[in-house]
Structure 1
Amino acid sequence: MPRSATDPAPASAPSSETDFAARYDVIIVGAGVAGCALAQALAQADVEGRRSILVLDLHREVSPRFSGEFIHPRGATVLDALGFMPALLEAGAVEVDGFVVREHADTDEPVRLDYASVPNERARGVSVHHKRLVRCMRQLAAENPQVSLRTPWRVTDVLTQPAKARNARDARIWGVVAKGPGGRVVELRADLVVAADGKASSVRKFAGIPDARRNLGFTAGLEVADAAQSNPLHANVYLGGPGPMLCYPIIREADGTLVSRLTFDLPKDLPAKGRELAPYLLETFVPHLPERLAGQVAAALEAQAALGPVEMAPTFDLPAPPATAPGLALVGDAAGCSHPITASGMTMGLLDAHYLALEASRRASVAADEAWLDDRALRNFRVEHERYVPTRQALADAIFEAFRGEDNGARGIRRALFHYWRSGERQRVRSLALLSCAERRPHVFLSEYLKTARHVVGSNMTPRHAEHFPVRDRLRQVHGAVGLAGTKVGLVASVAWSQLRPTWLTA
């Protein structure tokens, strides 16, 4: 949308922490991973140095709640291209090699899914303590002359044209209302507002975009020094307990200590809370870890109990809403999120930053009286966004149900998944390519889904299970697994359509 003749030209970033420009090219709400990556990417796209980018965040420091830390190679590639990687590695970030999945910790041979086996991709991802990650990204993004970072400022509404419209589909968003220190309230104008404020996005709510979040439960997190694992640079998934456990490195300290994060998946109806949670985890989850690691985790839980409750964060499933509206873009978790078992959330946010900034770079030389990111640019971004987010959500949904193994059907699918992975290197490579966002071709996604579905029957009826499961039990598991797989058909079809749909059909 062109600016009117009375609108001021883009302003450079004000030097004072309390001053604001009359108008910005882009206002980013949220200074987490996606928001900082986007600010950095837009600054790089502004080759002529004439754009202004404002980043607002509620927290003066990094949000106290622990959050995503594991980033797939595609996301690491974005971090590297944006210039973040050297500083992150200096701060203790760890380059990671993929996933190792264990159905039964001490009895079954684990399945290794190595990033290096995926053709034409970066061989390693990166993992780093969330607070160090965001602190580092904020510092570097704010060094760009086009970027102003303001904290603590809370967005309390969006500005729309016409002013009375309360739905993003019926109006153009042209700014935000924000409340800052001392109760100061300001109206801030911009050609584009970007919601990078997480799964509970206030901007998304103020824009009238429906919130279809579903509470899946909670993730409890614990730090373990030098965790005893045969593959310490992989994300290790341990099954067999009440929910999946995930252990991955987050920091390499200056003295060489490798600190790992161990997460426990908990239901939304918590079986224990507060100081009672540590004893519950010790009794129900820890026995399903390898012996040496179990001893370390038991000691860490005991030490944590003396300090306070175990850290927890809620987990949600948010089916991807429309990623754009006139004057608005959603990125990161604000544009859809899933269970964190696939560790793809931050990679999605980084890819969002990459593709939105790519549109900005294509319009780097447009006249100052035109919007930097116009409606066509947003439409192009939305098409790219919808090529990878639905795949991620479908995979996270299916893997979460299978790994949790809550009923016969889910356990049957889990067995089929392991059977499929063990059937050949190619199967593992293609699964990891999808899981890590390296593969987006719709026919590959559909092919992998159908191949895994075929294994649902084969792996549950194979004679090698006879000594453990009577025939009637195997039939019941097959029936449940096939039924559960069948409920995913509509989801798979919608994913395929989102990837095949031409640009001109995007609303």
Structure 2
Amino acid sequence: MSKSRSNYDVIIVGAGIAGCALAHGLSTLSRATPLRIAIVERSLAEPDRIVGELLQPGGVMALQRLGMEGCLEGIDAVKVHGYCVVENGTSVHIPYPGVHEGRSFHHGRFIMKLREAARAARGVELVEATVTELIPREGGKGIAGVRVARKGKDGEEDTTEALGAALVVVADGCFSNFRAAVMGGAAVKPETKSHFVGAILKDARLPIPNHGTVALVKGFGPVLLYQISEHDTRMLVDVKAPLPADLKVCAHILSNIVPQLPAALHLPIQRALDAERLRRMPNSFLPPVEQGATRGAVLVGDAWNMRHPLTGGGMTVALNDVVVLRDLLGSVGDLGDWRQVASTVNILSVALYDLFGADGELQVLRTGCFKYFERGGDCIDGPVSLLSGIAPSPMLLAYHFFSVAFYSIYVIAVGAQNGSAKQVLAVPGALQYPALCVKGLRVFYTACVVFGPLLWTELRW
């Protein structure tokens, strides 16, 4: 059964982080006539995901700018004050600068609070339905709305309905069904190099309370741990694609990963692997592409742009994009004429993932990065300001990235190629320096190869 068209000013596809935040943000714009906004979501039940559980300080600040900081209350969220990086039994404390703090939580609880805030906002309607297609404008130039399918209740027939709007915002996440429809020939497919395998540890004790833990595991990708409620700690293990079966993953974690983690985590991990099914999530990279070719439609959040979740920057990027988009639309008369939004967290996430799962010259950079953090001061404050979304500056990122590269070369020059910070440096002999010079050049070249394309990808559009 089909119904007649309903008209809105804005239709948002997806009631996740970006969709709910944008709806609430647009409802606060000072306009003579409030916007009529529809958020269309396939299911309004609480979602269950293993990522989207750590909000960096930059994301908390964006929530405050949107007037939605109350969504962090009443969900048993945990305050996060920084990171602890662990390798070979040695740990480095990386606190957030100043009074900044993040939050970690169960993803589904946070989503339900965001939906509650959006539902209560002026002019916003939550529609539980599946978007089946984007409706083209007459003549095929642009998008005029969406077609949705609603499930019938109590034996009633399913219905379809056309919803029209001046602007359609596609925020349906990393598995977006409409990315190609909005981007057309500019659409790029996400690249997946690994997966996070997740489990919840009960009453685990992390090396530093209220800090995310990044464990660098020799021969394998990094392991992330952070507390998401009073008794629950999320563990994410990076596993290269293609992903093997659960039993093989469990065996891999127990035999290769657990022995390299702090001893206090061994028993909680064993219990978690025995108690629950492992959850999986692809770690995808999707570079931003300039939008505006399709009139009346725009992508936001993971539907448009993804970075490796190692740095926990996804929600921070999405919320800051929402702030920018909200402000742009507040000054635009024609809601179908918006063009572009920027973010810069992506470079850091991919570059750090390349380093933390490294071998060869990248292993030298990884060791140099760890020792760079051990220096403290600006060697921690600068990188963590970037990581947390407090200071999203590509030039600051370039400065610290190449500082790590040069410090890595210094480390091999003085003979501390491996081992912990307590290792006694053994200065190489004169005959070793020609080979070390060649290795240093290779390390610097590798740093350029890692960082250069990422910077170009982010800035070219």
Deviation at 1:194, TM superposition (A): 0.7
Rate the CA distance shift 1:445–1:292 in 2: closer, same or farther, 3 A: closer
Task: List runs of 5+ in structure 1 lacking aligned partners.
Answer: 1-17, 165-170, 364-369, 499-505
Deviation at 1:344, TM superposition (A): 0.2
Letter in 1 for 2:135: L
**1:315 partnered with 2:299:** no
Rate the CA distance shift 1:81–1:161 in 2: closer, same or farther, 3 A: same
**1:161 partnered with 2:137:** yes
| CA offset digits 1:331-372 (Å, max 9, x no partner) | 111121011001100101111111111123335xxxxxx53x
2:6–2:162 Cα contact (<8 Å) kept:
no
Distance 2:66 2:458 in 1: 31
Hey, what does 1:114 align to over in structure 2? 95
Rate the CA distance shift 1:116–1:456 in 2: closer, same or farther, 3 A: closer
Which of 188, 196, 207 in structure 2 is aligned with 1:219?
196
Q: Secondary structure at the match of 2:50?
A: coil
Letter in 2 for 1:279: A
Once the two structures are overlaid, the 10-residue window that deviates more, 464-473 or 483-492, is 464-473
Hey, what does 1:503 align to over in structure 2? none
Letter in 1 for 2:283: T
Hey, what does 1:462 align to over in structure 2? 414
**1:232 partnered with 2:229:** no
Superposed, 1:108-507 pairs within 5 Å as: 108=90, 110-117=91-98, 123-151=100-128, 153-164=129-140, 171-182=141-152, 183-207=158-182, 208=184, 209-241=186-218, 242-252=220-230, 257=231, 259-270=232-243, 272-304=244-276, 309-325=277-293, 326-362=295-331, 371=334, 373-375=335-337, 378-379=338-339, 382=340, 385-386=341-342, 388=343, 391-405=344-358, 407-465=359-417, 478=440, 481-488=443-450, 490-491=452-453, 494=456, 497=459
2:287–2:458 Cα contact (<8 Å) kept:
no
Deviation at 1:244, TM superposition (A): 0.4
Letter in 2 for 1:192: L
Hey, what does 1:10 align to over in structure 2? none
Deviation at 1:495, TM superposition (A): 6.1
Letter in 2 for 1:344: G
Distance 2:40 2:301 in 1: 16
Rate the CA distance shift 1:409–1:347 in 2: closer, same or farther, 3 A: same
Letter in 1 for 2:282: P
Deviation at 1:45, TM superposition (A): 1.8
Distance 1:262 1:464 in 2: 31
Rate the CA distance shift 1:459–1:492 in 2: closer, same or farther, 3 A: farther
Letter in 2 for 1:196: A
Letter in 2 for 1:248: Y
1:411–1:481 Cα contact (<8 Å) kept:
no
| CA offset digits 1:163-210 (Å, max 9, x no partner) | 44xxxxxx3222122222144222221111111111221121222241
Distance 2:402 2:415 in 1: 23
Q: Secondary structure at the match of 2:84?
A: strand
Rate the CA distance shift 1:268–1:328 in 2: closer, same or farther, 3 A: same
Deviation at 1:129, TM superposition (A): 0.6
Distance 2:22 2:122 in 1: 15
Q: Secondary structure at the match of 1:484?
A: helix
1:415–1:460 Cα contact (<8 Å) kept:
no
| CA offset digits 1:192-233 (Å, max 9, x no partner) | 111111122112122224133111221111112232123121
1:446–1:496 Cα contact (<8 Å) kept:
no
Rate the CA distance shift 1:221–1:474 in 2: closer, same or farther, 3 A: farther
Deviation at 1:417, TM superposition (A): 1.1
2:5–2:162 Cα contact (<8 Å) kept:
no
Q: Secondary structure at the match of 2:100?
A: coil
Letter in 2 for 1:360: L
Q: Secondary structure at the match of 1:251?
A: coil
2:199–2:278 Cα contact (<8 Å) kept:
yes
Question: May I ask how many residue pairs the two structures share in their alignment?
Answer: 441
Distance 2:454 2:105 in 1: 32
**1:57 partnered with 2:25:** no
Distance 1:74 1:177 in 2: 35
Distance 2:357 2:300 in 1: 28
2:97–2:381 Cα contact (<8 Å) kept:
no
Distance 2:135 2:441 in 1: 53
Deviation at 1:422, TM superposition (A): 2.3
Which of 93, 98, 117 in structure 1 is aligned with 2:77?
93
Task: List runs of 5+ in structure 2 lacking aligned partners.
Answer: 153-157
Once the two structures are overlaid, the 10-residue window that deviates more, 230-239 or 437-446, is 437-446
Q: CA RMSD in A?
A: 2.7
2:406–2:444 Cα contact (<8 Å) kept:
no
2:206–2:265 Cα contact (<8 Å) kept:
yes
| CA offset digits 1:216-271 (Å, max 9, x no partner) | 2211111122321231211110012421001111113xxxx3x211110011122x
Distance 2:170 2:122 in 1: 22
| CA offset digits 1:446-493 (Å, max 9, x no partner) | 322332221231123322348999969977864653342131353255
1:229–1:293 Cα contact (<8 Å) kept:
yes
Hey, what does 2:155 align to over in structure 1? none
Deviation at 1:54, TM superposition (A): 0.6
Rate the CA distance shift 1:20–1:267 in 2: closer, same or farther, 3 A: farther
Distance 1:222 1:478 in 2: 40
Q: TM-score, normalised to structure 1's length? A: 0.80
